[in-house]
Amino acid sequence: MLPGNPGKQDRGLVWALGAGATFGTMARIERGEVERIADLARLELAPDEAERMTAELEAILAYVESLRAIETDSVEPTYHAIPLATPLRDDRAAAVLSAERVVANAPERDGFAFVVPKVLDEDEA
Amino acid sequence: MPFESVVELRAALDAGRTCALELAEAALARAEAARGLGAFLRLRPEGARAEAAESDARRARGERLSPLDGVPLAIKDNLIQEGEPCGCASRILEGFVAPYQGTPVARLLAAGAVILGRTNMDEFAMGSSTENSARGPTRNPWDAERVPGGSSGGSAAAVAVGIVPGALGSDTGGSIRQPASLSGVVGLKPTYGRVSRYGLVAFASSLDQVGPLARSALDCALLLEAIAGHDPADSTSLPDPVPRYRDALSGDVRGLRIGLPREFFEERSAADPAVLACVREALGELERAGAELRAVGLPHAQHAIATYYLIATAEASSNLARYDGVRFGRRAAAASLGEMYRRTRSQGFGPEVKRRILLGTYVLSAGYYDAYYRKAMKIRTLLRRDFEAAFADCDVLASPTSPEVAFRIGEKSKDPLRMYLSDIYTVSANLAGVPAISLPCGFAHALPVGLQLLGRPLDEATLLRAADAYQRRTDWHLRRPGAAP
Amino acid sequence: MSAAPIRDVHPRYEVVIGLEVHVHLCTESKLFSPAPVRYGDAPNHDVHPVDLGLPGVLPVLNRRAVELAVRAALATHCTVHPRSVFARKNYFYPDLPKGYQISQYEEPLATGGWLDVELPGGGAEARSARVGLTRIHIEEDAGKSIHDAAIAGREGSHVDLNRAGVPLLEIVSEPDLRSPEEAGAYLRALRQVLRYTGASDADMEKGQLRCDANVSLRPPGSTRLGTRTELKNLNSFRFVEEALRAEIARQSAILDAGGSVQQATMHYDAARGTTRVMRLKENADDYRYFPDPDLIPLELGADAIEAVRRALPELPERRRARFERELGLSAYDARILTESRALADFFEAAVARAGGAAHAKRVANWIARDVLQALGERGVEIDATRLEPAALAALIRLVDAGTATAASARPLVAELIERGGDPAELIRERGLETVSDAAVLERAADAAIAAHPEVAAQVRGGEEKGLNFLMGQVMKQTKGKANPRQVREILARRLRGA
């Protein structure tokens, strides 16, 4: 016995947003905000890219706004789906990668050290 | 011998009708012939021949062999194999050769399998169509103008056209099951923690799992046996012993209680009616075999996509920070460190990856963490509770794997949100950590349809049993795409 | 919570200092990988794939790091939380391979402890302050970036990941310190506790202890905190104190002029003795902390924590008090002998071999004076030598029995430190036995008197100092082997007829 009838359907966005969800408060991302986020993520966006990303992010965030309405005050977050005891490792030094292998994939190296362009100031990276 | 299953190939090997080297050569030849499919990013003829030769030597010595010994398999390009390039279908990992062995591949090799090569995927597993690969899309074996699904599209296609009987993929929001569904093969996402993630390039750490794709439930069972089990190198790996899954395939589903979440089947459901019809017919078949169908509710399932995209992108934004041009992979020319980071990452990542990194960074950033990330983690709890309640009265849950059949290449890539909705039925399993399988159950619009079954944590056996029982009574899984060589 | 009296370090302002200390936990392997913890190796020789942040790697927590962290937390009276969570701190830097550091944020291992710190200063008045600890948590260390043009060239920086992944304990104090001297005393006390518990060797020269200092000024009596600046990269306790002094001077000059201090990270220029702004902190860094999904929260059972507590060694404070109380040592001697656990252990073992508490002061004197001097000259710690407590006890016994004089015996301490051995044998081999032959001693005494008639005259006149001088002469003649008591008697008889 199957629930519902196969019939006229409303697919896509409307279903996925769930009963009662609305686009109510559209998430608004300031242009500067996207730039700040891109900076945090060390991504460079061309101006048209930034504009497009902003619009896409806004759409996605509008979509996730539907979660706000759900009552979760007394609900604990699930960070790990399957409960597990803390795994611990015995304190024993074991073989490491040879230094040669450590730097084998390096785009730039000097002996066994990685080389990177100079950091202009202590913080800027 | 294309389209033979793992079991059949093993029988042929044991009977001396062929040898591992011959199987490898044949698989390589088929892979070459099917180049246009774009399933493989890289073949490794020398490595495969060496592994095949070792297998033949073991057999000659009369050693005890695992079911996979000598069988050619494929692995997704986000699985680490020592000494092999690992690219995740991304520019940013160009040139990277893995200096360590990943556990899933190590276990396949320990079982004597022959690794034919690395299959195409959406870049860093972010996508549902394999169109986000930096190396071009893979084509659906049933219709070359369509996508095979994603992100494990290459693995699904390679199995669907019979290049290899089995492959490994990864599933974070449906990336094994959805391409299995769209390409007409079987795909299993194990319980979270069942298979080690050490050596799986991380996308969303609390959701990722490695799993098998094959053409039969039995083959999936054999692949899963080989790779599952506790790994001390993965702190999220479950300690529970691995059962002999093949022993669970009794063919008997009498009394199996199959729950149908009304949210997935009701009138307003997202699925193509033709897809739903296939799925209902498949469930009818199981009912005739003795299973009981019943309605259940997963009231929070409608929020699964939103929840998933908050959690997955947040974790991904952090996991992908290591791609910075410092120690491996591609590095852009730059005068300063800051410039190097920005250029390397901007040039190295494709647009979907960038989009998700941005969203994930936003979700975790100060001021938004509670409203988005923490909130999503709470919804996740509610979803887990939904599953627990459903599994109180049911042994498995069922749904279509995908709301639709394979769509055209380029059809959805302009609209990320539409693409995300492909995962509607699959993401819940990743959020709750439960195992799920997709099996071919018919055709709609002449394209494969997949039935998804979800199980209790660590109950892959029941899923495989149900899938196998269905496959004993039907032959959808034996259909072959016309595009096959 | 602070019970610290206000130190008048500045006439116009109250100084408020908080310290953030990072120490290397004393483990064989790293926090999340089995790579060895070593110092001084060539670059990138101690790196595991996990430390390298390669695609696909995962962290696994080191059991001993947890145990040592709990030890340190209990030894500083913290509340150890049964559940703590590892969180990712996300930022980009070349020596941070994953682009995030695994640390603890909202749910740290321990909170709310304290350290009682003896404040430096003269006078009989013992000054002590209780410095609160806000939190202690576990995190991994980053690698090293070398910007020095001599090594890395002008165009680039070198990155060495040997240190990446080494287990760190971060110890954050409440802003309870009120002077640079207090800060120094706190650091020394903290280092001592860490060494006592074996949690860390905390050797600053090896980079096993790093200190960042936060300092602000406010009007005396005010309870609001002033704007603080952060001093980083301070390589020694001395630099910490100096840098704080310099920064206090800088801040007070600003405030005196009616200006306000800007929140900033400061660099201390040791050569000039001044601090300068390295980076203004306009916005808090957005590290986007979230619980690390690759790690399960750390759950510590109450019995596990209790087991660590029971296994804690007697901590410096209590040991000092016990030495004073049970062994009759002065506060001063007790402090010297409990400086390190190894020294305190050595002392107690030597006392036991010497015959018990009655001999404690004797042993204490020998150690405080001769042993420590010899150690200092050689730059070694007590447990890195061949001197056995039994040997020292034996030596002392030989001196007390008159078999050798103190003057003969003292140099043997250095010898025992370097080569070990049996004191009785050494005395015999070197012919260091005390000379008690009256005839020999009388001859020597007469010779000394004859050589220094003026001194002899003074002694006859009742002066003591001269007697000591003449004794010294006799000792010199007899190469220190003359029985001092006898020599004194003989001289006194000769000169005073007593």
Instruction: Report phi then psi at B391, rounded to 5.
Output: -75, -5
pLDDT level of residue C408 (50, 70, 90 thresholds): confident
The yes-or-no answer on residue B66 being catalytic is no
pLDDT of residue C353: 93
CB A116 within 8 A of CB B337: yes
SS3 category, B29:
helix
The domain over range C438-496 is classified in CATH as 3.40.50.720? no
Q: Which residue of B has its CA nearest to C295?
A: B235
How does DSSP classify residue B143? Answer: B
Which of C15, C13, C23, C21 lies closest to C244, judged by CA? Answer: C15
Residue with tokens 């005010």: C222
pLDDT of residue B485: 37
The topology (CATH level 3) of B6-255 is Amidase signature (AS) enzymes (3.90.1300)
pLDDT of residue A14: 41
ipTM greater than 0.90: yes
pLDDT of residue C4: 43
Please answer yes or no on whether A78 and B384 come within 8 Å at the CB atom: yes
| Least confident among C242-251, C314-323, C379-388 | C379-388
Out of C58, C61, C94, the one facing B197 most closely (by C-beta) is C58
Domain with CATH 1.10.10.410 in chain C: 438-496
For A4-51, how does the pLDDT look when each residue is reduced to its tens digit (9 = 90+)?
222 222 234 444 444 333 344 456 787 788 999 999 999 999 888 888
Instruction: Report phi then psi at B11, rounded to 5.
Output: -60, -40
What is the rounded average pLDDT of the residues B171-179? 98
Share of chain C above pLDDT 70, in %: 96
Taking each helix axis as running N to C, give the angle between helix C180-197 and helix C237-256, from 0 to 180 degrees, rounded to the nearest 10: 150
SS3 category, B326:
coil
Q: Please, what sign has the CA dihedral across residues B329, B333, B336, B338?
A: negative
Return d(Cα C498, Cα C495) in angstroms, integer: 8
pLDDT of residue C3: 42
pLDDT level of residue C406 (50, 70, 90 thresholds): confident
Contacts of C384 (CB under 8 A, 6+ apart): none
Please answer yes or no on whether B315 and C61 come within 8 Å at the CB atom: no
C-alpha distance from residue C473 to each of C287, C430, C436, C441, C448 (Å): 74, 21, 16, 12, 6
For residue B66, pLDDT over 60 is answered with yes
C53 vs B contacts (CB less than 8 Å):
322, 327
Q: What is the rounded end-to-end Cα distance, in angstroms, of chain B?
A: 11
pLDDT of residue B419: 81
The interface residues of chain C toward chain A in range 30-49, judged by CB-CB distance below 8 A, are 34-37, 42-49
Taking only Cα atoms into account, the Rg of chain B, rounded to an integer number of angstroms, comes to 21
What is the rounded average pLDDT of the residues C374-387? 89
Write a three-state SS string for B417-451: HHHHHHHCCCHHHHHHCCCEEEEEEEEECCEEEEE
Distance of CA C481 to the CA centre of its chain: 38
Burial class (CB in 10 A: 0-12, 13-18, 19+), B108: buried
B307 vs A contacts (CB less than 8 Å):
67
For C26-70, how does the pLDDT look when each residue is reduced to its tens digit (9 = 90+)?
999 999 999 999 999 999 999 999 999 999 999 999 999 999 999
Residues A15-71, CATH architecture = Orthogonal Bundle (1.10)
pLDDT of residue C125: 56
Of the residues B76, B129, B216, B317, only one is catalytic, namely B76
pLDDT of residue C5: 46
pLDDT of residue A19: 35
Share of chain A above pLDDT 90, in %: 39
Please answer yes or no on whether B421 and A12 come within 8 Å at the CB atom: yes
A96 vs B contacts (CB less than 8 Å):
none
Return d(Cα C33, Cα C98) in angstroms, integer: 14
C-alpha distance from residue B464 to each of B188, B207, B294, C309, C424 (Å): 9, 21, 20, 50, 82
CA distance A50 to chain B (A): 10
pLDDT of residue C498: 53
| Least confident among B144-148, B340-344, C260-264 | C260-264
Distance of CA A108 to the CA centre of its chain: 29
**∠ CA B476-B481-B485, rounded to 5°:** 135
Q: Please, what sign has the CA dihedral across residues A125, B199, C87, C190?
A: negative
Which of C102, C163, C164 lies closest to C137, judged by CA? Answer: C102
In this structure, what token pair is assigned to residue B73?
């398999």
Q: What is the overall mean pLDDT for chain C? A: 91
pLDDT of residue B213: 98
Which of B210, B206, B213, B222 lies closest to B179, judged by CA? Answer: B213
pLDDT of residue C401: 86
For C177-212, how does the pLDDT look when each residue is reduced to its tens digit (9 = 90+)?
999 999 999 999 999 999 999 999 999 989 999 999
Return d(Cα B415, Cα B421) in angstroms, integer: 10
Contacts of C163 (CB under 8 A, 6+ apart): C141, C142, C143, C144, C207
In this structure, what token pair is assigned to residue C384?
């890195």
CA distance B370 to chain C (A): 10
SS3 category, B456:
coil
pLDDT of residue A2: 23
For residue A3, pLDDT over 60 is answered with no
CB C402 within 8 A of CB C434: yes
Return d(Cα B332, Cα B340) in angstroms, integer: 6
Out of B260, B338, B372, the one facing A64 most closely (by C-beta) is B372
In this structure, what token pair is assigned to residue C58?
């995962």
A104 vs C contacts (CB less than 8 Å):
none
Please answer yes or no on whether B322 and C157 come within 8 Å at the CB atom: no
Return d(Cα B261, Cα B296) in angstroms, integer: 5
Under 8 Å CB pairs connecting chains B and C tally to: 103
pLDDT of residue A23: 40
Element housing B399 (H / E): strand B396-400
Q: What is the overall mean pLDDT for chain B? A: 95
Beta strand extents in B217-351 (DSSP E only): 257-261, 292-296
Write a three-state SS string for chain C: CCCCCCCCCCCCCEEEEEEEEEEECCCCECCCCCCECCCCCCCCCCECHHHHCCCCCCCCEEHHHHHHHHHHHHHCCCEECCEECEEEEECCCCCCCCCEEEEECCCCCEEEEEEEEECCCCCCCCCEEEEEEEEEEEEECCCEEECCHHHHCCCEEEEECCCCCCEEEEEEECCCECCHHHHHHHHHHHHHHHHHHCCCCCCHHHCCEEEEEEEEEECCCCCCCCCCEEEEEECCHHHHHHHHHHHHHHHHHHHHCCCCCCCEEEEEECCCCEEEEEEECCCCCCCCCEECCCCCCEECCHHHHHHHHHCCCCCHHHHHHHHHHHHCCCHHHHHHHCCCHHHHHHHHHHHHHHCCHHHHHHHHHHHHHHHHHHHHHHCCCHHHCCCCHHHHHHHHHHHHCCCCCHHHHHHHHHHHHHHCCCHHHHHHHHCCCCECCHHHHHHHHHHHHHHCHHHHHHHHCCCCHHHHHHHHHHHHHCCCCECHHHHHHHHHHHHHCC
pLDDT of residue B268: 63
Cβ atoms within 10 Å of A114's Cβ, excluding its own: 28
User: Which chains neighbour B (Cβ–Cβ under 8 Å, 3 or more pairs)?
Assistant: A, C
What is the rounded average pLDDT of the residues B330-343? 95
List the domain boundaries for chain A: 15-71
- Order of all β-strands in the sheet with C167-173: C79-80, C110-118, C128-140, C167-173, C14-24, C209-218, C229-234, C264-269, C274-280
CB proximity C295 to B under 8 Å = yes
CB proximity A90 to C under 8 Å = yes
Which of C368, C315, C363, C310 lies closest to C337, judged by CA? Answer: C368
| Least confident among A76-80, B22-26, B250-254, B449-453 | A76-80
| C420 or B138, which is more confident | B138
Q: Count CA atoms within 13 Å of residue B51 on its CB side.
A: 26
pLDDT of residue C126: 62
Please answer yes or no on whether C54 and B98 come within 8 Å at the CB atom: yes
CB proximity B288 to A under 8 Å = no
Share of chain B above pLDDT 70, in %: 98
Cβ atoms within 10 Å of A109's Cβ, excluding its own: 18
What is the rounded average pLDDT of the residues C411-417? 89
Of the residues B129, B151, B399, B428, only one is catalytic, namely B151
CB B385 within 8 A of CB A75: no
The yes-or-no answer on residue B175 being catalytic is yes
**Mutant choice from B168, B364, B373, B374 vs C, greatest count of C C-beta within 10 A:** B364
The yes-or-no answer on residue B151 being catalytic is yes
The interface residues of chain B toward chain A in range 71-100, judged by CB-CB distance below 8 A, are 95-97, 99-100
C-alpha distance from residue C19 to each of C133, C179, C187, C484 (Å): 9, 12, 9, 54
Of the residues B5, B175, B269, B428, only one is catalytic, namely B175
**Mutant choice from C32, C44, C50, C88 vs A, greatest count of A C-beta within 10 A:** C44
- What does the CA dihedral C204, C206, C212, C213 come to, rounded to 10 degrees? 20
pLDDT of residue B415: 79
Contacts of C220 (CB under 8 A, 6+ apart): C6, C12, C13, C14
CB proximity A110 to C under 8 Å = yes
pLDDT of residue A7: 27
List the domain boundaries for chain B: 6-255
Return d(Cα B456, Cα B391) in angstroms, integer: 7
For B412-464, how does the pLDDT look when each residue is reduced to its tens digit (9 = 90+)?
887 777 788 889 999 999 999 999 999 999 999 999 999 999 999 999 999 99
pLDDT of residue B484: 43
CB proximity B258 to A under 8 Å = no
Instruction: Report phi then psi at B326, rounded to 5.
Output: -80, -50
